Amino acid sequence: MSTQNTDERLISTEVQTGENARANLPDEPVLAARGLDVYYGDDRALDDITIEIPKNKVTAIIGPSGCGKSTFLRSINRMNDQISVCRIDGELTFRGKNVYDDDVDPVALRRKIGQVFQKPNPFPKSIRENVTYGLEVQGKSATDEDVERALRGAALWDEVKDQLDSSGLELSGGQQQRLCIARAIAPDPEVILMDEPTSALDPVAASKIEDLIDELVDEYTVVIVTHNMQQAARISDKTAVFLTGGELVEFDDTATVFENPADGRVEDYITGKFG
């Protein structure tokens, strides 16, 4: 494919161009898939996925509906274990250890790899209890300092510090999603998976989540599935493009994917010719 002028971007948006501090960090893999296939019964959801996801960077996963984005995300921390017809072939490693080895405890794995879902799902408990839940299921005593640390990490502390005993369900949608992020980071994971975390939010609340992701990546590796290509371009360092059939067709620096993709199918998808 011919090289494009960098001013002739495939979508009209501000792409991460390497001006942030983490752009100069080496790509140290923390998660890796090699020849990963995922089946639901006889249906193949992911087809021979090979990818290395770097530490302390934001990796966006984009692609049309039904291409396996969420399936890949759920495979990372073994959420697919809960689907009886799901079968995994190939290798998926976290810090070099295959997460599907028989000696891996899925519950312990999820302490290291937290997840935030598409729709905010706070428990019908107080704000404080929502945050402490992840620590308590590990048998740890949660302190007030733990609660404050998690809520500050989710950019929510100043908004809720005087109502910690109120129900988390009384918060706005955007606040509920940040509460779910606080719950995810309270056990101090290394990786945070986000499955379309802003799709149910208004633009202002979504913008706050995007700003928060930019802060979280200083301490965590973030993998985000999004249908919003402008969002992927704005917030991510790396972008993986999945297309129909569960095929990973391109994975590169975000600016490269959006400005000069190597695969013509990626250009067609980004410019809206299909998908």
The answer to whether the CB of 273 falls within 8 A of the CB of 94 is no
The answer to whether the CB of 222 falls within 8 A of the CB of 59 is yes
| Residues paired with residue 89 on neighbouring β-strands, in sequence order | 37
What gap in Å lies between CA 35 and CA 196, rounded to an integer?
A: 25
CA angle 202, 204, 207 (to 5 degrees): 105
Give the pLDDT score at 139.
76
Give the pLDDT score at 255.
95
Alpha helices (H) along 118-251 = 127-136, 144-153, 157-160, 173-185, 203-216, 229-235
What gap in Å lies between CA 70 and CA 58, rounded to an integer?
A: 16
Give the pLDDT score at 140.
80
Give the pLDDT score at 16.
56
Q: How far is CA 67 from CA 80, 100, 141, 143, 245, in A?
A: 16, 22, 41, 42, 6
Q: Where are the domains of the chain?
A: 29-270
Give the pLDDT score at 122.
95
Residue 83: CB atoms within 10 A of its CB come to 13
Give the pLDDT score at 275.
53
Spans in the chain with pLDDT lower than 50: 1-13, 17-18
The answer to whether the CB of 196 falls within 8 A of the CB of 116 is no
The answer to whether the CB of 217 falls within 8 A of the CB of 21 is no
Q: How many residues does the chain have?
A: 275
Give the pLDDT score at 230.
94
CATH of 29-270 given 3.90.110.10, 3.90.550.10, 3.40.50.300, 3.30.1110.20: 3.40.50.300
Contacts of 123 (CB under 8 A, 6+ apart): 129, 130, 133, 168
| Cα 214 off chain centre by | 12
What gap in Å lies between CA 15 and CA 238, rounded to an integer?
A: 11
Give the pLDDT score at 135.
82
DSSP letter assigned to residue 206? H
User: What six digits make up the tokens of 229?
Assistant: 């290509």
Sign of CA dihedral 32, 72, 253, 26: negative
